[in-house]
């Protein structure tokens, strides 16, 4: 009972939130020509009528392909990591997003937080505000891989690095392979990107690679291949969607939201190699980065989505296609030109996952690709609590992703405050 009351207290106090949102030193990358699209700018009608923005594209992963010999020696050179999962069953992935741990004792100015927030977000409350949520969902889902999809820590409140150290210790305690992408707040810490990336790279169970920072914008563009028997059953993409609070090219950090041309080219070049070495068949894949894509707006139109300023929140009704979740706020979207969406269609990507908008957790398909806002995984910063929720519950927990012969299936796992 004491624990339940403590959690409820956290819920009530967390209604007063910070007034702000919710990747080794590298030179300026080749092709520094900026984003493919002013992704952080104001957009007119971001969910407007988009008739077939993907156009007529080749489908290199089509069902009519006959697979030849799989060259694992070559695939091992293309893939950054290989995760082996026993054959004959679904692969289970768990997305935890926007944990965004805050250590109020490290606030850079005394008036940065309200008194209530400063009292709530002390280091001693990490257990009730984050670890208890994450641990319950991990134990319930029992995943093969955990993905943190950005704003894992609130870097502004971690200049001495103790918050990141605590997060890594919690993740390592599960003894399950895990990986991550960066959000707009992770890299604010004065510890810097070289130190931050090295902490992840040196963690025993963490699959993370800072990437070829001399060739690509961002920190953390890499792949994980899932091997079942002798088959490459899935490829998991991790990419940096940039949009960092502060731009620092010496650390490969860029404030523009979205993918740069060199990142998109890397994605397509890697797809072509994967197809070639996978016996001429493009393997199925899913991907993660932090910022939401414009295509999800097009996918939500059938449920009544209308863009800001006329946005009105809604709950996706029961349906037979696996769409779900609540859309509680509108925001900015990347890939407004649908350039990346076209490539996801072309190269057999089953779905793309993101976070950033703490109060949204919709999952919908658009032109054959499922786009998903992951369920926020902690009580830090803003979230949709039970008193406001269309579901009449705290919209906090994790997102369960099943991969297998039955295709991609996505469901949210909500934190049980009574457990």
Supply the DSSP symbol for 272: H
Joined together, the tokens standing for residue 340 give 């990346």
pTM of the predicted model as reported, rounded to 2 decimal places = 0.86
pLDDT tens digits along 370-417: 999 999 999 999 888 888 898 888 999 999 999 999 999 999 999 999
pLDDT tens digits along 302-319: 999 999 999 999 999 999
Task: Mark out the alpha helices in 121-220 (DSSP H runs).
Answer: 126, 132-141, 162-173, 193-201
Contact 287, 64 (CB under 8 A): no
**Region for residue 243 given its phi and psi (left: phi exceeds 0; alpha: psi -120 to 50; beta: otherwise):** left
Residue 69 to residue 193: CA distance in whole angstroms: 40
- As a whole number, the mean pLDDT across the chain is 87
Say how many Å lie between the first and final Cα of the chain, rounded: 10
Residue 407 to residue 284: CA distance in whole angstroms: 9
pLDDT tens digits along 9-36: 343 334 344 333 333 333 334 344 445 4
Choose the CATH number for 2-18+53-414 among 2.30.30.830, 3.10.20.30, 3.60.21.10, 3.30.110.60: 3.60.21.10
pLDDT tens digits along 150-165: 999 999 999 999 999 9
- Give the model's pLDDT for residue 63: 52
Contact 79, 132 (CB under 8 A): no
* Interval 322-345 mean pLDDT: 96
Residue 79 to residue 126: CA distance in whole angstroms: 35
Write out 274-308 in H/E/C secondary structure: HHHHECCCCCCEEEECCCCECHHHHHHHHHCCCCC
Residue 208 to residue 222: CA distance in whole angstroms: 8
* Interval 132-143 mean pLDDT: 98
Residue 252 to residue 246: CA distance in whole angstroms: 11
- Give the model's pLDDT for residue 22: 39
* Interval 342-355 mean pLDDT: 97
Question: Would you kindly state where each structural domain of the chain is located, as residue ranges?
Answer: 2-18+53-414
Contact 25, 251 (CB under 8 A): yes
Write out 343-386 in H/E/C secondary structure: HHHHCCEEEEEECCCCCCCCEEEECCEEEEECCECCCCCCCCCC
């Amino acid at each position: 009972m004491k624990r339940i009351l403590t959690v409820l207290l956290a819920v009530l106090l967390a209604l007063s939130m910070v007034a702000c949102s919710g990747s080794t030193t590298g030179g300026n990358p080749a092709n520094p020509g900026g984003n493919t699209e002013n992704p952080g700018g104001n957009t007119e009608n971001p969910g407007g009528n988009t008739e077939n923005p993907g156009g007529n594209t080749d489908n290199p992963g089509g069902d009519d392909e006959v697979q030849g010999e799989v060259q694992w020696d070559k695939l091992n050179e293309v893939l950054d990591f290989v995760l082996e999962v026993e054959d004959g069953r679904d692969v289970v992935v768990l997305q935890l997003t926007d944990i965004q741990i805050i250590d109020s004792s490290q606030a850079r100015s005394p008036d940065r937080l309200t008194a209530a927030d400063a009292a709530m977000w002390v280091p001693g409350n990490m257990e009730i505000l984050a670890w208890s949520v994450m641990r319950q969902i991990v134990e319930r889902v029992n995943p093969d891989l955990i993905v943190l999809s950005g704003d894992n820590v609130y870097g502004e409140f971690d200049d001495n690095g103790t918050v990141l150290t605590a997060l890594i210790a919690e993740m390592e305690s599960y003894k399950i392979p895990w990986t991550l992408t960066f959000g707009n707040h992770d890299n604010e810490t004065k510890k810097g990107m070289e130190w931050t990336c090295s902490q992840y790279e040196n963690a025993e169970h963490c699959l993370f690679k800072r990437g070829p920072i001399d060739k690509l914008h961002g920190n953390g563009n890499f792949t994980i291949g899932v091997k079942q028997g002798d088959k490459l059953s899935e490829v998991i993409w991790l990419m940096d969607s940039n949009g960092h609070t502060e731009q620092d090219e010496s650390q490969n950090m860029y404030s523009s939201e979205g993918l740069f041309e060199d990142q998109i080219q890397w994605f397509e070049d890697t797809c072509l190699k994967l197809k070639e070495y996978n016996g001429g068949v493009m393997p199925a894949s899913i991907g993660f980065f932090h910022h939401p894509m414009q295509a999800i707006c097009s996918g939500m139109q059938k449920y009544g989505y209308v863009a800001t300023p006329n946005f009105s929140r809604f709950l996706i009704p029961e349906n037979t296609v696996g769409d779900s979740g609540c859309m509680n706020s509108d925001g900015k979207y990347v890939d407004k030109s649908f350039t990346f969406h076209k490539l996801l269609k072309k190269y057999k990507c089953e779905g793309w996952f993101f976070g950033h908008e703490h109060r949204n957790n919709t999952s919908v398909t658009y032109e054959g690709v499922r786009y998903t806002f992951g369920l926020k995984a902690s009580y830090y910063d803003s979230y949709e609590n039970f008193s406001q929720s269309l579901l009449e519950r705290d919209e906090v927990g994790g997102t369960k992703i099943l991969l297998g012969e039955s295709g991609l299936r996505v469901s949210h796992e909500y934190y049980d405050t009574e457990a």
